[in-house]
Amino acid sequence: MIAIDTNLIIRYLTGDHPQQALRARDIIDGQDVFVTVTVVMEVAWVLRTTFRFGRTAIIQSLRVFSGMPTVTMEDTDLIAAAFDLVEKGMDFADALHLIRTRHCNGFVTFDRKVLKAAHAAGYRFVREA
């Protein structure tokens, strides 16, 4: 198994660079690959900011990608829980932050958007600073 970087997944999903997309497909389809949580977070960010994918398209693309037989994701339960929060309106990075801190007594933020989305998703331990 090899670990892959954000750019391989971006090329695989978007095909924006035809030669690199072919190489990414050969690598990802041809052998077992490992994807870290941080790479998934970066892929979501690049798809949103550079390719203007909407929330639903990002999560749908990443769910399909993560379900491929050659793909192993780090912390799959964490990623799946974050995907669920994104579908409820939360930013992917913020969702990861919340999932990672469930064991804490609280999560404090100045970001009212995070606060509102967290409360809407049932994360009452999030509070305003």
pLDDT tens, residue by residue, 94-105:
999 999 998 999
The residue-averaged pLDDT of 60-74 equals 97
Contact 93, 45 (CB under 8 A): yes
How many folded domains does the chain comprise? 2
Q: Give the pLDDT of residue 59.
A: 94
Contact assessment for residue 66 and residue 94, using Cβ atoms and an 8 Å cutoff: no
pLDDT of 75 higher than 90: yes
pLDDT value of residue 89: 86
Question: Residue 12 belongs to what domain range?
Answer: 1-74
Share of the chain above pLDDT 90, in %: 87
Report yes or no on 82 lying in a domain. Answer: no
In a domain, 83, yes or no: no
The answer on pLDDT for 128 being more than 90 is yes
Unique residue bearing structure tokens 């892959």: 4
Say whether both 32 and 70 belong to one domain: yes
Domain annotation covers residue 37: yes
Q: For 30-95, list the strands marked E by DSSP.
A: 33-35, 71-73
Do 31 and 57 have their domain in common? yes
Does residue 1 form part of some domain?
Answer: yes
Let me know: does 94 contact 55? Beta carbons within 8 Å: no
